[in-house]
Amino acid sequence: MQFDLQVGVDCSISIEMKDVGNLSDIGNYTSCPLCLSDVDHIYHEAKEKSYGQMQFRKYYQCSHCSLVFLAPELRLNSSDEKKRYLEHNNNPDDPRYLDFLMQSWMALEPFLKKEVKGLDMGCGPNPVLANYIVQQGYEMDHYDPYFYPNDITGKTYDFITCTEVIEHVYDLYTFFKKLKKLLVSGGHLALMTDLLHEGVDFKKWYYRQDNTHICFFQKKTLNYIEGNMNMKLIKEKNNRVIIFKKL
Ligand SMILES: [Zn+2]
């Protein structure tokens, strides 16, 4: 996801899909999108069937923050990525979609005081969760780089919801820096993403089958964020819902 949040630092990246026919054309060395460490450990690589076509997939694992991520040269370009987002089955009228997103809100709300203001970051084409939170009496903005590129320059929030977003983001280092800048001290960040945990068979993992899912967090990655970004991990539930508090 090519986030350009217009809050001071341009993080837009444009990367074209390469012809992946020849493995030797692709280097085995890159930098971690979250902690910027040099990474050469290949976690998984294979030619696999995806969307009816054989595609080469290669994932690195960062030894510093444990992030597992798709080789940058294999990411979708922005027009294909947007097309895939529009194909996502996120029907705003489907109560199961709201129930799914609600997992993060149910975990977050007990930490919030009344009269606080939030941001739904990366809401996609339908700001379903943001609308629900507004109905609960909270003031809420929403932002999406493709569908709602609203100007949030200079704004700050008491809480940010970011559901099913971070697995899409190309430049996680800049993205987290911006999330921190948007949050007030003591503010809460609710992330939702499927964590890569010991029970996952990565080769067959459904979460990896979506071409737009390019970064996978492990518990050690959350610990890295806690230890390096002035954030305290205050809740983690079902290997999916994560709440941080900005210190
Ligand atoms: Zn890293």
Neighbouring residues of 206: CB distance < 8 A, sequence distance ≥ 6: none
Structural domain span for residue 131: 91-194+220-246
User: Are 32 and 69 contacting, i.e. CB atoms less than 8 angstroms apart?
Assistant: yes
| CATH code, domain carrying 130 | 3.40.50.150
72 domain residue, yes or no: no
User: Are 67 and 216 contacting, i.e. CB atoms less than 8 angstroms apart?
Assistant: yes
143 domain residue, yes or no: yes
pLDDT per residue over 74-91, tens digit each?
A: 998 888 887 877 777 667
37 domain residue, yes or no: no
Residue 49: the pLDDT is 82
Residue 233: the pLDDT is 98
Residues of the chain with pLDDT under 70: 1-27, 89-90, 92
Helices (H), 59-183: 78-87, 95-108, 128-135, 172-182
31 domain residue, yes or no: no
Rounded to the nearest whole angstrom, what is the distance from the C-alpha of residue 34 to the centroid of ligand 1?
Answer: 5
Residue 14: the pLDDT is 31
Rounded to the nearest whole angstrom, what is the distance from the C-alpha of residue 27 to the centroid of ligand 1?
Answer: 18
190 domain residue, yes or no: yes
Q: Which two tokens stand for residue 178?
A: 């911006």
Rounded to the nearest whole angstrom, what is the distance from the C-alpha of residue 129 to the centroid of ligand 1?
Answer: 30
Rounded to the nearest whole angstrom, what is the distance from the C-alpha of residue 177 to the centroid of ligand 1?
Answer: 15
160 domain residue, yes or no: yes
Neighbouring residues of 195: CB distance < 8 A, sequence distance ≥ 6: 216, 217, 218, 219, 222, 236, 239, 240, 242
User: Residue 205: beta bridge partners?
Assistant: none
pLDDT per residue over 90-121, tens digit each?
A: 676 778 888 888 999 999 999 999 899 999 99
Rounded to the nearest whole angstrom, what is the distance from the C-alpha of residue 107 to the centroid of ligand 1?
Answer: 27
Rounded to the nearest whole angstrom, what is the distance from the C-alpha of residue 106 to the centroid of ligand 1?
Answer: 30
135 domain residue, yes or no: yes
56 domain residue, yes or no: no
Rounded to the nearest whole angstrom, what is the distance from the C-alpha of residue 88 to the centroid of ligand 1?
Answer: 28
Residue 5: the pLDDT is 45
Rounded to the nearest whole angstrom, what is the distance from the C-alpha of residue 50 to the centroid of ligand 1?
Answer: 27
Q: Using CB atoms within 10 A of its CB, is residue 5 exposed (0-12), middle (13-18) or buried (19+)?
A: buried
Rounded to the nearest whole angstrom, what is the distance from the C-alpha of residue 192 to the centroid of ligand 1?
Answer: 19
pTM for the model stands at 0.86
Rounded to the nearest whole angstrom, what is the distance from the C-alpha of residue 33 to the centroid of ligand 1?
Answer: 7
The total of structural domains in the chain comes to 1
Rounded to the nearest whole angstrom, what is the distance from the C-alpha of residue 5 to the centroid of ligand 1?
Answer: 22
